[in-house]
């Protein structure tokens, strides 16, 4: 089984389309999405539709919860709140129903999906330190734990049997065809980075490919027409900052 792992698409249809074009040549069986499909960008409805067409397994992120009123908008920055209010008005009843049906966590084969961390999925905590990664790994009932939310790719290996950390790859350049060890006690925490709003200084869309049989993981960066996505954000009257940051990857 080959999995495409996406996260934090943030209504950026140009980035999502480029990522999916790239993945089309990769013999993907199942598409996984770790949340924040909407919010910030100008094409929330079209991005949801693309994932629906692919039968993607999707969990809810904080932006989905913001849209459907499960998370108070006071928890968001001004730019995010403005974008969410705009997004809500763009979505059809069907779109909103899709968001309502997204669970906070989901198991798919050897993968557990969550937007923040498994400790308290409804809090949308940012997984930013190793203690959180260990806790996430210990809560996984599957070998792979997939999260998003930080918009920065990483791969962390934890040996649950011996209670010790293995490889810690925070630089996406190191996560190219990484061979994963099939030992039963091993757990992996994977963040594929963000498709639609990378924040690691590289503006290209970020996606991961997990091959569960060959036991390999690769993070790929895919260029896309950033200027077109920026233009749509400006035309929609969304905060200028949301357009600017796409070019910076910040």
The contact set with Zn ion (CB under 5 A) reads: 8, 36
Q: Could you give the CA distance from residue 203 to residue 200 in angstroms, rounded to a whole number?
A: 8
Q: Do 247 and 45 form a contact (C-beta atoms < 8 A)? A: no
Least Å distance, CB 240 to Zn ion, is: 19
Closer residue to Zn ion in complex, CB, 8/172:
8
Closer residue to Zn ion in complex, CB, 180/238:
238
Least Å distance, CB 10 to Zn ion, is: 6
Q: Could you give the CA distance from residue 168 to residue 232 in angstroms, rounded to a whole number?
A: 37
Alpha helices per DSSP H over the chain:
13-24, 44-53, 62-67, 78-90, 93-101, 130-139, 226-235, 240-248
The length of the chain in residues reads 250
Least Å distance, CB 169 to Zn ion, is: 21
Least Å distance, CB 211 to Zn ion, is: 26
Closer residue to Zn ion in complex, CB, 43/157:
43
Least Å distance, CB 120 to Zn ion, is: 17
Q: Which residues pair with 222 in a beta bridge?
A: 205
Q: Could you give the CA distance from residue 3 to residue 23 in angstroms, rounded to a whole number?
A: 10
Residue the block writes with tokens 């993981």? 217
Closer residue to Zn ion in complex, CB, 12/30:
12
Which residue sits closest to Zn ion, CB atoms considered? 36
Closer residue to Zn ion in complex, CB, 8/14:
8
Q: Could you give the CA distance from residue 166 to residue 3 in angstroms, rounded to a whole number?
A: 23
């Amino acid at each position: 089984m080959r999995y495409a792992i996406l996260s934090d698409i943030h209504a950026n249809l140009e980035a999502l389309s480029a990522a999916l074009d790239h993945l089309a040549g990769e013999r993907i069986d199942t598409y996984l999405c770790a949340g924040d499909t909407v919010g910030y960008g100008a094409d929330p409805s079209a991005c949801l539709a693309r994932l629906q067409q692919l039968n993607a397994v999707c969990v809810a992120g904080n932006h989905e919860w913001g849209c459907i009123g499960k998370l108070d908008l006071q928890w968001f920055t001004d730019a995010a709140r403005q974008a969410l209010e705009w997004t809500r008005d763009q979505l059809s009843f069907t779109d909103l129903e899709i968001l309502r049906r997204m669970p906070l966590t989901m198991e798919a084969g050897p993968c557990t999906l969550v937007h923040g961390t498994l400790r308290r999925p409804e809090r949308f905590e940012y997984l930013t330190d190793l203690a959180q990664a260990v806790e996430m790994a210990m809560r996984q009932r599957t070998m792979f734990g997939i999260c998003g939310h930080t918009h920065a790719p990483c791969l962390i290996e934890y040996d649950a049997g011996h209670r010790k950390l293995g490889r810690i790859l925070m630089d996406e350049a190191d996560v190219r065809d990484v061979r994963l060890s099939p030992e039963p006690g091993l757990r992996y925490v994977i963040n594929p980075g963000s498709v639609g709003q990378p924040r690691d200084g590289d503006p290209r869309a970020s996606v991961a490919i997990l091959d569960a049989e060959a036991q390999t993981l690769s993070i790929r960066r895919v260029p896309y027409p950033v200027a077109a996505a920026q233009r749509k954000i400006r035309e929609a009257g969304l905060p200028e900052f949301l357009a600017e940051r796409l070019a910076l990857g910040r």
